[in-house]
């Protein structure tokens, strides 16, 4: 089993490729659809995701897709299960398994991710349905006096217990401890908190016996808070992020797939490219983007069959740009090229 999760983890972070996060919950996808004036019905959710999953050429840049519970069991318009569609293209299906972030008792302003109860049984069902990897997201907020040690330790412990259960089921765990961009904190404060979170996360992973070769880390980049008066430039973010990872992430981890965390499409790509240009690194540095891969495609699609071709073209363009960023070969001039 260890060799199986190791090989899947390596495939997830294969050179030139990254992961599409298409695991939006019902409330989140409803907000995304509302931004283009479209109602979030089951049929339209299916149509939208089918558009992404069947984009010709995207398999050259996408190694896996994180699905939502509904989507893992969903079929395309022609009756083909999405899992089968992805597998035919050589794309690994994955599944979000956490139950969301809830208020952490006794710690105002902080969250704890729930979903461990009954997880072993759900993982078995997901594996039988075709999932090859899983994802669990922890949320860490920077603010006045927070994050607390209680918040960091509780979330790291939950991440580690989840990861151990996933590997027990023969599934690769994506471990996602996200330090949020929200706030007026400096990049230096983000680096400090991210370091604390990653140190505790790997401490807990070791306690739970999680095999590092069979997991993928999905962290935030070390970046200025969204309302910080001084925004760090691309090179500064890249340097701070790589420095933090070098100090905290063991080389046995095959890959680090960054979340975009609310960054714009191009900025998330620019940061990834700058980090890879600093290489070589002990681990693959790749992407696991949701909005930063989907936003242009969602807008181009607009909820209509007539927009499918434009939506596919926009998605392929962003996938290609991030594929180039995997080797540090992306440049801003490439963004001016037509997505057609």
337 band by pLDDT with thresholds 50, 70 and 90: low
123-126 CB contacts, 8 Å cutoff, 24+ apart: 123/97, 123/165, 123/166, 123/168, 123/169, 123/171, 124/169, 126/72, 126/95, 126/97, 126/169, 126/171
Q: What is the pLDDT of residue 253?
A: 98
Query: Which one of the listed residues 111, 135, 218, 320 is annotated catalytic?
Result: 218
Contact predicate 254/282, CB 8 Å: no
Query: Does residue 339 belong to any structural domain of this protein?
Result: no
> pLDDT (tens digit, 9 = 90+) per residue, 152-187?
999 999 999 999 999 999 999 999 999 999 999 999
Cβ neighbours of 241 (radius 10 Å): 27
Q: Structural domain tally of the chain? A: 1
Query: pLDDT (tens digit, 9 = 90+) per residue, 36-79?
Result: 999 999 999 999 999 999 999 999 999 999 999 999 999 999 99
On average, the pLDDT of the chain sits at 96
* 233-284: pLDDT as tens digits: 999 999 999 999 999 999 999 999 999 998 999 999 999 999 999 999 999 9
Structure confidence at residue 1 (pLDDT): 55
> Annotated catalytic residue: which of 50, 110, 176, 178?
176
- In sequence order, the β-bridge partners of residue 103 are 111
Instruction: With respect to residue 203, please indicate whether it lies within any of the assigned structural domains.
Output: yes
Q: Are strands 111-113 and 101-103 parallel, antiparallel or unpaired?
A: antiparallel
The larger pLDDT score, comparing residue 304 to residue 337, is at 304
**Which secondary-structure segment (H or E) carries 216?**
strand 216-217
User: What is this structure's pTM?
Assistant: 0.96
Q: How confident is the model at residue 338 (pLDDT cuts 50, 70, 90)?
A: very low
In-domain check, residue 252: yes
pLDDT band at 133 (very low <50, low <70, confident <90, very high): very high
Q: Is 335 part of any domain?
A: no
Q: 336 in a domain, yes or no?
A: no
Check residues 338 and 147 and name the one with the higher pLDDT.
Answer: 147
Kindly compute the dihedral angle of the four CA atoms of residues 149, 151, 157, 160, in this order, to the nearest 10 degrees: -110
Range of the domain at 181: 2-330
Q: Is the bond preceding residue 147 a cis peptide, omega within 30 degrees?
A: yes
Band of pLDDT at residue 339, cut at 50, 70 and 90: very low
Nearest residue to 82 (alpha-carbon basis) of 58, 59, 57, 65 = 65
| Domain of residue 301, CATH code | 3.20.20.70
| 337 falls within a domain | no
111 labelled catalytic: no
In a domain, 115, yes or no: yes
17 classed as catalytic: no
Q: Contact, 50 vs 79, CB < 8 A?
A: no
Mean pLDDT of 102-117: 98
Is residue 46 situated within a structural domain? yes
Residues 6+ apart with CB under 8 A from 127: 169, 170, 171
Percent of the chain at pLDDT > 70 equals 99
pLDDT tier for residue 336 given thresholds of 50, 70 and 90: confident
């Amino acid at each position: 089993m260890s060799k199986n999760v190791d090989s899947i983890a390596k495939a997830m972070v294969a050179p030139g490729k990254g992961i599409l996060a298409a695991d939006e919950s019902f409330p989140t996808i409803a907000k995304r659809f509302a931004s283009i004036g479209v109602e979030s019905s089951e049929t339209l959710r299916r149509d939208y995701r089918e558009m992404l999953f069947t984009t010709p050429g995207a398999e050259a840049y996408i190694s896996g897709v994180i699905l939502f519970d509904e989507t893992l069991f969903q079929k395309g318009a022609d009756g083909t299960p999405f899992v089968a569609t992805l597998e035919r293209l050589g794309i690994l299906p994955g599944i979000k398994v956490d139950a969301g972030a809830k208020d952490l008792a006794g710690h105002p302003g902080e969250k704890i991710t729930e979903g461990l109860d009954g997880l072993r049984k759900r993982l078995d069902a997901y594996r039988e349905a075709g999932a090859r990897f899983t994802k669990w997201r922890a949320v860490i907020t920077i603010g006045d006096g927070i994050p607390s040690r209680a918040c960091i330790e509780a979330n790291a412990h939950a991440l580690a217990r989840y990861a151990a259960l996933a590997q027990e089921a023969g599934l690769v765990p994506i471990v996602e401890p996200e330090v949020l961009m929200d706030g007026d904190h400096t990049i230096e404060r983000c680096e400090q908190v991210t370091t604390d979170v990653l140190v505790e996360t790997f401490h807990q992973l070791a306690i739970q016996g999680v095999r590092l070769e069979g997991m993928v880390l999905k962290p935030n980049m070390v970046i200025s808070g969204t309302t910080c008066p001084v925004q760090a430039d691309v090179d500064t973010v890249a340097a701070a992020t790589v420095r933090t990872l070098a100090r905290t992430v063991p080389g046995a981890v095959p890959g680090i797939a960054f979340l975009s965390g609310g960054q714009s499409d191009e900025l998330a790509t620019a940061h990834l490219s700058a980090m890879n240009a600093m290489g070589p690194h002990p681990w693959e540095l790749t992407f696991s983007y949701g909005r930063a891969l989907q936003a242009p495609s969602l807008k181009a699609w607009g909820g209509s069959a007539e927009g499918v071709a434009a939506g596919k073209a926009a998605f392929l363009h962003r996938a290609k740009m991030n594929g180039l960023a995997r080797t540090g070969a992306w440049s801003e001039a490439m963004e001016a090229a037509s997505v057609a």
